[in-house]
Amino acid sequence: MSIAENLAQVKSNIAKAAEAAGRDPSEILLVGATKMNDAARVREAIAAGLPCCGENRVQELLEKNAAGAYEGAQLHFIGTLQKNKAKYLVGLVSLIHSVDSAELMREISRQAEKRGIVQDILLEVNTGGEASKSGFSPAALPMALEAAKDFSGIRVRGLMTIPPICRAPEENLPYFRLLRQLFIDNGEKKYDNVYMDFMSMGMSGDYEAAIACGANIVRVGTAIFGQRHYPAPPA
């Protein structure tokens, strides 16, 4: 199947999942997880109607951006971000999904202030409580949201999660429901400089389940671009 055919299928699945949940499909943003797909393939997806690209490595994003890969689409950053690389993204991407510490909030804010802009971010929540994953624990989230008022270069626009790897989409429902509950509960507290607009959850295997739980941003790679071919480890 071509990228265009895959994309049409994913969009149609998104529309069905939204309608089944009584939601308007147009309120759900499809982010194409473009990692390991070169500029030509990214351009192909945008030409076929992909509205937004999400990269998870800074170096790869900068190289593909220099090659004009993202023209005509929004650009988000969805991967783990080291503090010393924040400066490359601020002002270049419209949303950073994966902010996982107050130190990173501070650094993004500092870089944005230097450029005289406000950078939109999401806070990543470690809903599965996995030691191997980054993100705020649900218990630590209120403190991070409270801290947002001190950082005038950022605007917290919502929450993101990557649940544990599951065999079946329905196994992710408890993690998606947890993120939705945190979204609602913390949204009601009306923290300064926090706007609970976006809930980013759901990937190729489970975006429909995530939409059923309220996701309004889904990050889909494989289902659009096909399997990624990771280089073999050195012998």
User: Among 6, 1, 5, 2, which Cα is nearest to 223's?
Assistant: 6
User: Among 86, 93, 91, which Cα is nearest to 108's?
Assistant: 86
Interface region with ligand PLP, contact rule CB under 6 A, candidates 61-69, 108-116, 135-143, 220-228:
220-228
- Closest distance between ligand PLP and the C-beta of residue 42, in Å? 14
Q: Which of 78, 89, 108, 217 binds ligand PLP (CB under 6 A)?
A: 78
Q: Which of 74, 101, 181, 204 binds ligand PLP (CB under 6 A)?
A: 204
CA distance linking residue 6 with residue 15, whole number of Å: 14
Count of residues for the chain?
Answer: 235
How many residues bind ligand PLP, per CB under 6 A? 13
Q: Which residue is nearest to ligand PLP (CB)?
A: 221
* Residue 222 near ligand PLP by CB under 6 A: yes
* Residue 56 near ligand PLP by CB under 6 A: yes
Please state, as a whole number, how many other Cβ atoms lie within 10 Å of the Cβ of residue 106.
17
Tokens describing residue 85: 């690389």
| Range list of β-strands (E), 66-128 | 74-77, 95-99, 119-125
Nearer to ligand PLP, 78 or 211 (CB): 78
| Contact yes or no for 73/53 (Cβ under 8 A) | yes
| Contact yes or no for 2/18 (Cβ under 8 A) | no
* Residue 75 near ligand PLP by CB under 6 A: no
- Closest distance between ligand PLP and the C-beta of residue 212, in Å? 17
Nearer to ligand PLP, 2 or 222 (CB): 222
Binding interface with ligand PLP (CB under 6 A): 33, 35, 56, 78-79, 162, 203-204, 219-223
